[in-house]
Homo-oligomer: A and B are copies of this chain.
Amino acid sequence: MDLEKIKTTLRKFTEERDWEQFHNPKNLATALSVEASELLEIFQWSNDGGLSEIKNPKKRAEIEKEIADIFNYLVKLVDILDMDLEKTALEKIKENAEKYPIESSKGRSVKYTDFNEHKS
């Protein structure tokens, strides 16, 4: 994926509209959270884990667009922070792998802070 291309396209879009004044870290985190809720709204009354929604072509198109909206705000933040998204993402998976060892996590959705309690 060409992340730099998306960054550049977003920068141009924002600059042309003079919107940098609105795109501070707090507002971008707010907008990202609002978009994440718009995605969630599509699934809010689903009782089958969202399977029928992703099978419905119209809903699926909406879902993909909401994912793109979330991603674009995420890329704006990545750009402002000048962070290495791929590296941080892979490190976070590694960290989670240590926090949730296979033997104690297998088939259980329990939060790692509740391990002892639930094992007993």
A contact residues vs B (CB 8 Å cutoff): 1-3, 5-6, 9-10, 13, 16-19, 21-22, 24-27, 29-34, 36-47, 49-51, 53-54, 60, 63-65, 67-72, 74-75, 77-78, 80-81, 83, 85-86, 88-93, 96-97, 100, 102, 105-107, 109
Contacts and interface: CB of A to CB of B under 8 A. Distances in A.
Contacts of A63: 25, 81
B1 A109 contact: no
Contacts of A86: 1-2, 5-6
B67 A88 contact: yes
Copy tally for this chain in the complex stands at 4
Contact of A26 (B32, B50, B80): B50
Contacts of A54: 25, 80-81
Contacts of A10: 93
